[in-house]
Structure 1
Amino acid sequence: MSRELRQRRPRALSPLREHLRDTFWFAPTTTLALAFLLWGAADTLDVALVEALRQNGDLEGIRHLMRVAEDARTIVTTVSAAMMTFIGVVFSISLVAVQMAAGNFTPRIVRIFIRSRISKLTFSVFLATFLLSLLVLTSYETEADPRDVMTVPVVQSALTVVMVLLSLVLFIAYVTQTLQLMKVGPVVERINKESLGEVARMPVQGPDGTPLAPEIARMSHQGHAGVLRDAHIARLVRVARRNGVVLRLIPRIGDYVVPGTPVLAVHGPRVPARSALRHSVSVGVERTFHQDLGFGLRQLSDIALRALSPAVNDPTTAVQCLDRIVEFLAAVAARPLGAVHHRDRKGAVRLVQNVPGWTDLVDLGLTEIRGCAAASPQVSRRMLAGIDDLLRLVPDERRAPLERHRGLLVQAVERTLPEAAERAFALRPDRQGIG
């Protein structure tokens, strides 16, 4: 197997990592535990420092540390009192901004805020600073005699000051990113980036034409109803290899499944134990980007449709969405679609995953926007330019759906605009819409 294919082999913890990224509790909880461990280490250093000075008979050094720590105590006390209020105000304002962005674009962009690393890091550091300040306050002793004092929280106080400075830096970065969520450009670019990331993780080797063995069994979904979010590719490939079979994922990622829906088909000599395939697919409330090739196009189309609605009437936003839709379709123009084959270390096909085909992706990206584009010359011109660019890129066998959408768009514009000059203007391809 080539080196490129080895690098693209699914990682065993990939689904777990993606599911944790879709939560907002994991990072702060982990950071609080780390903050407690960090305080324990700093407290140990403070005890060791006082003990070393006492063994050297340097009582004046201990007195100096006590004065420094007492000065720092004011800062630590202030931080512990103000940090939670600061956290509440900052995140209240941020959630309002996210709500406004969701109303202006699509509710699904809330996922961008939830998955944002800087958002989680900022919230985590804020909480860790608050916890650390409380723990440091418990280390201050009322004993003023340097001969009897056990610890002077100098290292702990310095660590708290460092955490406060880090919180300020992260606050600036966090506010900057939150403001970006209110701008359409960064939002659609983030959606497109995640979509292209899924394209890059797809196997680069298509079907080799070898027919599958006869189907001998199907395994049904036994859990709660919901959207098929992703499949544990590494586990399914491993189970199929051990049993000498090929597994086929029947529904597509993003399909809604109910108990009893066939999920896996087995092709080969024997049926794997159901226990070996437990938790091999994940069902949730809503779709995610992980393994879902069409979810990004769905979001871009939703944003464009809302922009073209009579209540909003923002064709420039629709053009920005079309820019990314064309980029995404260009990225998958030459890739194998319809059925993705996942292989084991020896190159044998072990899992066949049903993914959207080329026609499905073109229809998803263009159909609904095309229905609203006839009355907006800016959108119709950009869509025609995008389709023409794609026609120059795609193989001959993939030209048909693009030509169909081009013809339907031309017909819609001709029906909508009665004047010949207006029709000619609206049907002139332009990559900027109306540049």
Structure 2
Amino acid sequence: MGWNRRYSLKSYVRSSLWTVPLIAVAIYAVVKPLTEMVGRWMIRQGILDPETGFFGLSMTGARSLLADIVSADLAFLVFTFGSLLVAIQVAGGQYTPRIIATTLLRDNIIRSISGLFVFTLLFANRTAGWMGEEQVHQFQVFIAALFGFASVVAFLFLIDYAAKFLRPVSLVARIGEQGLAVVDSVYPAPSSGVVAAPERDGARADPDRIVRLQGRSGIVLAVNLKMLVAEARRTRTIIEVAPQVGDFVAVDEPLFYVYGKAGAIDDSRLRTLVAFGTERTMEQDPMFAFRILVDIALKALSAAINDPTTAVLAIDQLHRLLRLVGKRSLRIEEIVDRSGQVRVILRTPNWEDFVHISFREIRQCGAGSIQIARRLRAAIENLIQSLPEHRHDALYVELALLDRAILSKQEFPEDVALARIPDSQGLGGSAASVAGH
């Protein structure tokens, strides 16, 4: 199996809810025989009384306890999956569908608790079926009772966790954390204070070979840069990845541009170093976190929902991400080998791209809201104060556009003056809080 297929499979498993319950079934298949062996050993050694055990349950009491555990865990499972389906529908409609696979279905707490319910249900049901008419398997009943108690506690915790998890502030904060991690991995170097030249095509000759996509169209999820560098070094070539991570690539579109001894390159091997999927993921896509946060803000600002406070929460996280991005080197990524020779070129978003996605659409949809206008101004002015000077030009452009939008949206001079006050809370804070934001 090639690297791209392994990566796509891994991404699918991480965003699938059924995988952890399936693992729980495998664990049950191993644990249940072990507990039966341990129970028989404890009886032979005199550690466990086969009549009284830990609880002193009779056959009727043991069967009743196990039946209660099975019924409870079955109800927990039905409630959990039913509620999750409702939560997915609500979250997709109120926030954005893009949080379903990236956030909701990847939550390990929800997946693990579902696995616990499945394991306990199978264990208790098997224990009840394994007992004969005369002997109570006290150790297995004790283990089933422990897992049953753990299931009740986990269910109560899950209700509280899900209620908090689905709040707007929790969702946008989690997306912000994921975005910070991606920025750290894609842009590890601090900014040098020098703006990279935006154009490179004119400086590089035409490629000696173009490797095109075959098979199935899709979105670029990730690129195996380490193996690409090794392949380019082995063949003494320079390999340029034509799309950037997050782009949709159709069949027969360019996937790689090869410079140098192009005849030494194996096309099929290169194609296995790019993973494709049907939906963007965050692992190597720093722009996707911005896209999700902006979509949440736009949905909140829509006439159907009209919740500018949720949009302010999204702007908080965009502000947080931009502060980190602005301090990192965003040059066109030229990856070198151990000798310092450029081997791989991979395009990544530049500073203007991040600024545009963070402010343009939100300003267009929300400039009429004084709350949004004040929060956008607070974010822009804070970034101007905290980021290096070579990041300021794009921010000043956004500030000027915001002023023009306010004048076009607000009819009264008093509202214009109020909308031009930077406020990190949107409406309710003060300009004094901006500098320390």
Asked if 2 retains the 8 angstrom alpha-carbon contact of 1:203 and 1:341, the reply is no
Asked if 2 retains the 8 angstrom alpha-carbon contact of 1:308 and 1:372, the reply is yes
Task: Determine helix, strand or coil for the equivalent of 1:204.
Answer: coil
Q: CA deviation at 1:103?
A: 1.6
Distance of 1:213 and 1:49 partners within structure 2? 77
Asked if 2 retains the 8 angstrom alpha-carbon contact of 1:251 and 1:354, the reply is yes
Distance of 1:76 and 1:234 partners within structure 2? 53
Q: CA deviation at 1:104?
A: 1.6
Q: Tell me whether 1:324 sits opposite 2:308 in the alignment.
A: no
Gaps of 5+ in 2: 429-437
Task: Determine helix, strand or coil for the equivalent of 1:283.
Answer: strand
Distance of 2:331 and 2:259 partners within structure 1? 19
Q: Which residue of 2 aligns with 1:128?
A: 119
Superposition map of 1:47-62 within 5 A: 47-53=40-46, 61-62=49-50
Q: CA deviation at 1:41?
A: 1.1
The 10-residue stretch of structure 1 (43-52 or 394-403) with the greater mean CA deviation from structure 2: 43-52
Asked if 2 retains the 8 angstrom alpha-carbon contact of 1:198 and 1:290, the reply is yes
1:173 to 157, 160, 176: 157
Asked if 2 retains the 8 angstrom alpha-carbon contact of 1:342 and 1:351, the reply is yes
Q: Which residue of 1 aligns with 2:179?
A: 195
Q: CA deviation at 1:19?
A: 3.8
Q: CA deviation at 1:364?
A: 0.6
Q: Which amino acid aligns with 2:232?
A: A
Q: Which residue of 2 aligns with 1:226?
A: 218
Asked if 1 retains the 8 angstrom alpha-carbon contact of 2:8 and 2:277, the reply is no
Q: Which residue of 2 aligns with 1:156?
A: 140
Q: CA deviation at 1:200?
A: 1.5
| TM-score, L = length of structure 1 | 0.85
Distance 1:343 1:78, change over 3 A: farther
Distance 1:41 1:91, change over 3 A: same
Q: CA deviation at 1:374?
A: 2.5
Asked if 2 retains the 8 angstrom alpha-carbon contact of 1:98 and 1:181, the reply is no
Q: CA deviation at 1:404?
A: 1.0
Task: Determine helix, strand or coil for the equivalent of 2:240.
Answer: strand
Distance 1:45 1:225, change over 3 A: same
Note the aligned Cα RMSD (angstroms).
Answer: 2.9
Distance 1:52 1:380, change over 3 A: same
Q: Which residue of 1 aligns with 2:244?
A: 252
Q: Which amino acid aligns with 1:240?
A: A
Gaps of 5+ in 1: 1-11, 145-151
Distance of 2:71 and 2:13 partners within structure 1? 31
Q: Tell me whether 1:34 sits opposite 2:27 in the alignment.
A: yes
Distance of 2:79 and 2:280 partners within structure 1? 31
CA deviations 1:357-407 (Å, max 9, x no partner) are 110111011100111232111111111111111112333332221111111
Q: CA deviation at 1:343?
A: 5.2
Q: Which residue of 1 aligns with 2:356?
A: 363
Asked if 1 retains the 8 angstrom alpha-carbon contact of 2:50 and 2:138, the reply is no
Distance of 1:286 and 1:138 partners within structure 2? 44
Asked if 1 retains the 8 angstrom alpha-carbon contact of 2:238 and 2:344, the reply is yes
Distance of 1:212 and 1:132 partners within structure 2? 65
Task: Determine helix, strand or coil for the equivalent of 2:286.
Answer: coil
Q: CA deviation at 1:338?
A: 4.9
1:383 to 360, 376, 380: 376
Q: CA deviation at 1:309?
A: 1.9
Superposition map of 1:19-168 within 5 A: 19-53=12-46, 61-65=49-53, 68=57, 70=59, 71-111=61-101, 112-142=103-133, 153-168=137-152
Distance 1:279 1:171, change over 3 A: farther
CA deviations 1:79-125 (Å, max 9, x no partner) are 22442233112321332133222222112222321010111001111
The 10-residue stretch of structure 1 (159-168 or 204-213) with the greater mean CA deviation from structure 2: 204-213
Q: Which amino acid aligns with 1:352?
A: I
Distance 1:347 1:27, change over 3 A: farther
CA deviations 1:230-250 (Å, max 9, x no partner) are 223343344334444443221
Distance of 2:315 and 2:140 partners within structure 1? 53
Q: Which amino acid aligns with 1:239?
A: E
**What percentage of residue pairs aligned between the two structures are identical?**
29
Q: Which amino acid aligns with 2:352?
A: T
Asked if 2 retains the 8 angstrom alpha-carbon contact of 1:180 and 1:187, the reply is no
Q: CA deviation at 1:229?
A: 1.8
Superposition map of 1:411-430 within 5 A: 411-430=404-423
Asked if 1 retains the 8 angstrom alpha-carbon contact of 2:186 and 2:286, the reply is no
Q: Which residue of 1 aligns with 2:431?
A: none
Distance of 1:164 and 1:212 partners within structure 2? 66
Distance of 1:29 and 1:103 partners within structure 2? 29
Distance 1:115 1:344, change over 3 A: farther
Asked if 2 retains the 8 angstrom alpha-carbon contact of 1:203 and 1:342, the reply is no
CA deviations 1:128-154 (Å, max 9, x no partner) are 11111222234313356xxxxxxx633
CA deviations 1:155-180 (Å, max 9, x no partner) are 32222222212222322332223212
Q: Which amino acid aligns with 2:100?
A: V
Q: Tell me whether 1:301 sits opposite 2:291 in the alignment.
A: no
Distance 1:32 1:346, change over 3 A: farther
Distance 1:43 1:347, change over 3 A: farther
The 10-residue stretch of structure 1 (73-82 or 405-414) with the greater mean CA deviation from structure 2: 73-82
Distance of 2:165 and 2:401 partners within structure 1? 34
